């Protein structure tokens, strides 16, 4: 089934419903990979059609390593989405990427393991070796950055997203290593989402919302989950205005 979807949004921690989405219908999609994280909610926003999916489920019941990334991407593609924005909560490693900062990353290092990372994992599927030199779609990144500017929201252009397994946060030594590797941000859900989007030839970009300084990067001895969610709530407020502008491009 295909319908006209102007943009799909995968909401991360703290974004379980898309604010301002109107005339909504819910689609439960049967996928060859099992169930998606939940129903896809389709509705009108800023005069366009949006498909929204809560990555962790609408009640945040799925930890990052148990999200069925393949089913999620397949369902959005099946419903007719061709552009996807992943909204991801992250920890900041770089000094200028503190809590509430928003980043549009341009690179990824994958530290996850044991996840289904490809649609080629299935018996008999064609083996594809996608080019992944630029893991995010350049044109969608450019449009997202321009949209943020028009919306008057400060965002940082570029940064390397290190994807960790979770659900625990990292040790200081792990973050120190990631910093040496060149990571600017750390999150648990950026991969394999980006790879799977590319395999399906979806345009894909990430809006990374910094919830905390990663282990050992800020002044805090410990990272509290309450603090993470407070910062996320603040940063999440900027997502709809950015996407409203994106939908005009």
Cis peptide before 142 (omega within 30 of 0): no
Dihedrals phi, psi of 115, to nearest 5 degrees: -105, 155
Binding region for ligand HPA (CB under 6 A) out of 29-37, 120-128, 131-139, 208-216? 208-216
| Of the candidate residues 53, 188, 191, 202, the single one contacting ligand HPA (CB under 6 A) | 188
Binding region for ligand HPA (CB under 6 A) out of 39-47, 79-87, 139-147, 186-194? 186-194
What count of other Cβ atoms lies within 10 Å of the Cβ of residue 61? 11
| Of the candidate residues 37, 72, 137, 164, the single one contacting ligand HPA (CB under 6 A) | 164
Residue 201's nearest CA partner among 96, 83, 110 is 83
Dihedrals phi, psi of 233, to nearest 5 degrees: -60, -40
Number of residues that bind ligand HPA (CB under 6 A): 13
Between 43 and 63, name the residue whose CB sits nearer to ligand HPA.
63
94 annotated as a binding-site residue: no
Alpha carbon distances (Å) from 243 to 1, 154, 207, 215: 25, 14, 10, 30
Query: Judging by beta carbons within 10 Å of its beta carbon (0-12, 13-18, 19+), is residue 80 exposed, middle or buried?
Result: middle
Between 207 and 211, name the residue whose CB sits nearer to ligand HPA.
211
Tell me: does residue 73 bind ligand HPA (CB under 6 A): no
Gap between the Cα atoms of 185 and 229, Å rounded: 17
**x-marked contacts with ligand HPA along 209-228 as a string, rule CB under 6 A:** --xx-x-------------x
Between 188 and 191, name the residue whose CB sits nearer to ligand HPA.
188
Between 198 and 231, name the residue whose CB sits nearer to ligand HPA.
231
* Shortest spacing between CB 187 and ligand HPA, in angstroms: 5
Binding region for ligand HPA (CB under 6 A) out of 87-95, 110-118, 126-134, 144-152? 87-95
Gap between the Cα atoms of 215 and 170, Å rounded: 6
Between 12 and 240, name the residue whose CB sits nearer to ligand HPA.
12
Q: Please list, residue by residue across 144-182, b when 16 or more beta carbons sit within 10 angstroms of its beta carbon and e when fewer do.
A: bbebbeebebebbeebbbbbbbbeebbeeebbbebbeee
Gap between the Cα atoms of 176 and 147, Å rounded: 33
The annotated binding site for phosphate is made up of 13, 55-56, 189
The annotated binding site for substrate is made up of 188, 212-214
Residues at the contact surface with ligand HPA, assessed by CB under 6 A: 89-91, 164, 169-170, 186-188, 211-212, 214, 228
């Amino acid at each position: 089934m295909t319908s006209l979807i102007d943009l799909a949004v995968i909401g991360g921690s703290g974004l379980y419903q898309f604010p301002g989405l109107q005339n909504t219908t819910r689609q439960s999609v049967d996928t060859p990979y099992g169930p998606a994280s939940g129903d896809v909610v389709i509705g009108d926003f800023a005069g366009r059609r949006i498909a929204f999916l809560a990555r962790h489920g609408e009640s945040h019941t799925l930890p990052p390593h148990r999200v069925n990334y393949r089913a999620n991407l397949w369902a959005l593609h099946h419903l007719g989405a061709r552009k996807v924005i992943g909204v991801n909560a992250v920890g900041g490693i770089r000094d200028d990427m503190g809590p509430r900062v928003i980043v549009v990353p341009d690179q990824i290092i994958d530290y996850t393991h044991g996840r289904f990372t490809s649609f080629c994992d299935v018996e008999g599927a064609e083996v594809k070796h996608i080019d992944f030199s630029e893991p995010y779609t350049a044109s969608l990144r450019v449009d997202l950055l321009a949209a943020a500017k028009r919306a008057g929201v400060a965002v940082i252009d570029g940064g390397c997203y290190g994807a960790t397994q979770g659900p625990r946060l990292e040790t200081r030594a792990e973050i120190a290593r990631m910093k040496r590797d060149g990571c600017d941000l750390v999150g648990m859900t950026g991969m394999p989402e980006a790879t799977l989007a590319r395999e399906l030839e979806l345009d894909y970009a990430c809006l990374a919302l910094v919830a905390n300084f990663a282990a050992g990067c800020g002044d805090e001895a410990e990272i509290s989950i309450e603090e993470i969610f407070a910062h996320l709530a603040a940063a999440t407020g900027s997502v709809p205005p950015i996407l409203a502008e994106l939908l005009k491009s």
